[in-house]
Amino acid sequence: MKSRIFILIGPPGAGKGTQAKNIANLKDFVLISTGDLLRENVEKKTELGITAKSYMDKGELVPTELVARMIKANIKQNIGRNGFLFDGFPRDLAQNALLSEMLKEFNLDVDKVIYIDVKDEAIHERLTNRRICPKCKKVYHMKYNPPKHGELCDDCNVSLIIRDDDKIDVIKKRLEVYHKSTQPLVDYFEKSGRITKINGERTPKEVEGEIISNI
């Protein structure tokens, strides 16, 4: 069976991670989130993690060759599965060319790109109010999706944390990088007709419903 390939793309804080986890579960897709994989490496203090952290803390992209190695290993491990959902990769035109090459090796191709559209004005509020469980990695929002008790994870009962790159100056930089590097890729996908644009400024359930009906 040929695996289906989907890409979730959008600005920082658009809700890619929130949606990707649920959709991968619902559809039994392999989730490849470069942000999560990099953060795992940072936490374990691997060589890759130590290098990546210096870029992530500044809101810059980690060098593509490091990210690409990680992606290829993940595809190889999961070949033959129902589908793959990419969150956070590709992030620019060069990464997209690399992904196409990798997929070709495995006789695969991208089925659809889902673009979660959220305007810059909403991003700031989303990211400054984001909290993460350090244990299970569940994502909360202190206003729109708050934990039941104070700042404790509902499932693990441990204190939630703020991501290192959710500081105001780093958020600003990440948005700049998005507009400079990722927006041209979104424009490219739009021209190639493979992208579905979804209004991300609705409830997570509404956004999820529209994504599901498009894949």
Residue reference for tokens 């948005």:
175
Q: Known catalytic residue: 174? A: yes
How would DSSP label each residue in the chain?
A: -PPEEEEEE-STTSSHHHHHHHHHHHHTPEEEEHHHHHHHHHHTT-HHHHHHHHHHTTTPPPPHHHHHHHHHHHHHHHTTSSEEEEES---SHHHHHHHHHHHHHTT----EEEEEE--HHHHHHHHHTEEE-TTT--EEETTTB--SBTTB-TTT--B-B--TT-SHHHHHHHHHHIIIIIHHHHHHHHHHT-EEEEE-SS-HHHHHHHHHHH-
Interaction of residue 160 with ligand AP5, rule CB under 6 A = no
Interaction of residue 144 with ligand AP5, rule CB under 6 A = yes
Binders in 25-54 for ligand AP5, by CB under 6 A = 34-35, 38
Q: Which of 30, 102, 139, 162 touches ligand AP5 (CB under 6 A)?
A: 139
Q: Known catalytic residue: 16? A: yes
Binding window for ligand AP5 (CB under 6 A); candidates: 16-24, 77-85, 106-114, 146-154: 16-24
* 72: amino acid identity, one letter: K
Interaction of residue 198 with ligand AP5, rule CB under 6 A = no
Residue reference for tokens 């990088």:
177
Interaction of residue 16 with ligand AP5, rule CB under 6 A = yes
- Which one of the listed residues 72, 81, 138, 163 is annotated catalytic? 163
Q: Which of 62, 99, 113, 195 touches ligand AP5 (CB under 6 A)?
A: 62
Minimum CB–partner distance for residue 1 and ligand AP5 (Å): 27
Interaction of residue 83 with ligand AP5, rule CB under 6 A = no
- Positions touching ligand AP5 (CB under 6 A) are 10, 12-18, 34-35, 38, 55-56, 59-62, 67, 88-89, 91, 95, 126, 130, 139-141, 144-145, 165, 174, 200, 203-204, 207
- Known catalytic residues are 16, 91, 130, 163, 174
